[in-house]
């Protein structure tokens, strides 16, 4: 299939093709890519050739050489309604005809206002003030800066952020600082600021060595009484951290219910409820990073709904535009917004981006919210949860599988090298790339996080397609790791 630049008419529009352009057109996309393009999270020396995608439709992607691949991770967790959706295509075209972009500092526009109204109506209660940015990382940066200045504007110097082990909040400096210290952040250690890290409820690898059935979410600190656990463990708990941090704590930042890139850790809802309760008790802000979990992915429109809580600030991105365009959204309460209102202009929130509130992205987000409602997308994800659970359950007894866990539209298989000790290779485990190639050979695009293999398909995937997907996961794990 020719790409857009190679049609005779488009060449004609640009005048005679240069010898250089002719030479480029004779090469494949992969060859041209290799000459100049630097890919994210990719070791460019040892990588396999990139997959040249020329078209998408529904859950499928089509390659330059005519292969069809099922998009098993929703193109880095963004696509929920499927590729090239006619309704979203039409919304994009209509908005492009009216207004493609305008500065959002002096100006406003219908899609920006309407999206804010729609989000406030859909979000957990109390989140009323909508600030736009560009992506998930900037949505988190904005939240952290907002929380910090909220205290400064009230004359308090609160410097500490509490985050959780296994967290991933993005790749900008603040978001990296808040994320777990890891392979991803270590090269940048000199640039990062300190945060305090508390236990996450990673039940398969319980930080306190307890069992979920009887633990009473002790990793939160709730119910941990002297004598039941060691002092050292006590000091590791979120409650203790909050007490020690005292009034120096600006906010607690968490990924509600599902910690994504840090290992696809699924939470008990009680932990999330406890985070809210502790933040309220100790008078610190709670920031919910729903960049991954927002817009139905966990089987609720927002993951905070699993515990019936509202954070003080929520961060959104990824699926917000249905996977079409980048957009970050940070939504705060009136109380936070009010702390920035002043005749003193130094209290202004000095943050913005060239593309803040981009009308095309906002128009797509509105159209995507309509589709979520009209197609019953959240109920679809709840059905998908059942299909993934059924399809992946047999893998639990596989000798290389430590745990199978499913939340909403995310099915996770944690591989181990020793089932008894739960030893595992982590992100750099070469099992990841080996599995990726074996999945590709079967027409499935997945990208395991090392030993964490997961599927997170667009919500429109059918029951049969899900059965096919989980069968490929099981067969490939057998093929690569031995039955
Ligand atoms: C929970 C969470 N927060 C923030 C981010 C960063 O988003 P982006 O990649 O759009 O910068 C991600 C990305 O995976 C994420 O999962």
Mean pLDDT of 332-338: 98
Tokens of 308: 């019936």
260 CA: nearest ligand 1 atom:
16
| End-to-end Cα spacing for the chain | 39
Q: Model confidence over 47-70: pLDDT tens digits? A: 999 999 999 999 999 999 999 999
Ligand 1 pocket residue status of 137, Cβ below 6 Å = yes
Please check the confidence at residue 3 and state whether its pLDDT lies above 50. no
Known catalytic membership, residue 289: yes
Ligand 1 pocket residue status of 143, Cβ below 6 Å = no
Q: Token match 């049609």: residue? A: 7
Ligand 1 pocket residue status of 292, Cβ below 6 Å = yes
Ligand 1 pocket residue status of 470, Cβ below 6 Å = no
Q: Are 303 and 256 in contact (CB under 8 A)?
A: yes
Please check the confidence at residue 23 and state whether its pLDDT lies above 60. no
Q: Token match 């209102």: residue? A: 341
Please check the confidence at residue 474 and state whether its pLDDT lies above 50. yes
Ligand 1 pocket residue status of 255, Cβ below 6 Å = yes
Mean pLDDT of 6-23: 40
Among 263, 291, 329, 456, name the best residue to mutate to test ligand 1's pocket (greatest count of ligand atoms within 8 A of Cβ): 291
Ligand 1 pocket residue status of 260, Cβ below 6 Å = yes
Q: Model-level pTM? A: 0.93
Nearest CA among 163, 144, 135 for reference residue 76: 135
Single out the catalytic residue among 132, 168, 202, 324: 168
Mean pLDDT across the chain, nearest whole number? 90
140 CA: nearest ligand 1 atom:
4
Residue owning the nearest CA to atom 10 of ligand 1: 136
- Distance from the CA of 284 to the center of ligand 1, in angstroms? 23
135 CA: nearest ligand 1 atom:
10
In this prediction, residue 12 carries a pLDDT of 33
Q: Are 424 and 464 in contact (CB under 8 A)?
A: no
255 CA: nearest ligand 1 atom:
1
Mean pLDDT of 161-190: 95
Single out the catalytic residue among 134, 150, 202, 318: 318
Ligand 1 pocket residue status of 81, Cβ below 6 Å = no
Single out the catalytic residue among 71, 134, 289, 312: 289
Residue owning the nearest CA to atom 13 of ligand 1: 170
Q: Which long-range contacts (CB under 8 A, 24 or more apart) does 101-108 make?
A: 101/355, 101/358, 101/359, 101/360, 102/359, 104/132, 104/352, 104/356, 104/357, 105/352, 105/356, 108/357
Ligand 1 pocket residue status of 166, Cβ below 6 Å = no
Q: Model confidence over 238-284: pLDDT tens digits? A: 556 566 655 688 999 999 999 999 999 999 999 999 889 888 888 88
């Amino acid at each position: 299939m020719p790409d857009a630049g190679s049609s005779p008419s488009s060449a004609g529009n640009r005048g005679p093709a240069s010898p250089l352009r002719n030479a480029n057109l004779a090469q494949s996309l992969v060859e041209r890519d290799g000459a100049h393009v630097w890919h994210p999270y990719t070791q460019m020396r040892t990588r396999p050739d990139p997959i040249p995608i020329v078209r998408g439709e529904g859950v499928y992607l089509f390659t330059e050489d005519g292969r069809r691949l099922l998009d098993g991770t929703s193109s880095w967790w963004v696509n929920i309604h499927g590729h090239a959706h006619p309704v979203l295509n039409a919304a994009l075209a209509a908005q492009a005809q009216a207004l493609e972009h305008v500065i959002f500092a002096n100006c406003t526009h219908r899609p920006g206002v309407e999206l804010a109204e729609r989000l406030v109506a859909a979000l957990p209660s109390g989140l009323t003030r909508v600030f736009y940015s560009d992506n998930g990382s900037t949505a988190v940066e904005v939240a952290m800066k907002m929380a910090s200045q909220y205290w400064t504007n009230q004359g308090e110097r609160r410097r500490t952020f509490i985050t959780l082990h296994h967290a991933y909040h993005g790749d900008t400096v603040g978001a990296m600082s808040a994320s777990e210290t890891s392979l991803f952040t270590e090269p940048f250690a000199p640039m990062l600021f300190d945060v305090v890290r508390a236990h996450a409820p990673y039940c398969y690898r319980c930080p306190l060595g307890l069992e979920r059935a009887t633990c009473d979410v002790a990793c939160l600190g709730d119910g941990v009484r002297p004598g039941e656990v060691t002092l050292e463990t006590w000091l590791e708990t979120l409650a203790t951290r909050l007490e020690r941090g005292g009034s120096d704590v600006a906010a607690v930042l968490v990924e509600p219910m599902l910690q994504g890139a840090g290992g696809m850790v699924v939470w008990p809802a009680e932990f999330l409820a406890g985070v809210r309760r502790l933040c309220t008790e100790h008078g610190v802000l709670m920031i919910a990073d729903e960049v991954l979990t927002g817009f139905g992915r966990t089987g609720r429109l927002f993951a905070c709904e699993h515990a019936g809580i509202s954070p003080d600030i929520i961060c959104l991105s990824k699926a917000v535009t249905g996977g079409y365009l980048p957009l970050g959204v940070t939504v705060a309460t009136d109380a936070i917004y009010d702390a920035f209102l002043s005749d003193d202009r130094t209290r202004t929130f000095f943050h913005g981006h060239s593309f803040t509130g981009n009308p095309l992205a906002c128009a797509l987000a509105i159209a995507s919210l309509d589709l979520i409602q009209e197609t019953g997308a959240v109920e679809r994800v709840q059905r998908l949860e059942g299909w993934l659970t059924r399809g992946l359950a047999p893998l639990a007894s596989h000798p290389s599988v430590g745990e199978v866990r499913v939340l909403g539209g995310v099915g996770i298989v944690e591989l181990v090298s020793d089932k008894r000790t739960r030893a595992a290779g982590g992100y750099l485990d070469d099992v990841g790339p080996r599995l990726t190639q074996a999945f590709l050979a079967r027409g499935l695009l997945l990208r395991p996080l090392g030993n964490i293999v997961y599927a997170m398909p667009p919500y429109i995937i059918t029951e049969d397609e899900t059965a096919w997907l989980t069968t490929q996961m099981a067969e490939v794990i057998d093929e690569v790791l031995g039955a």
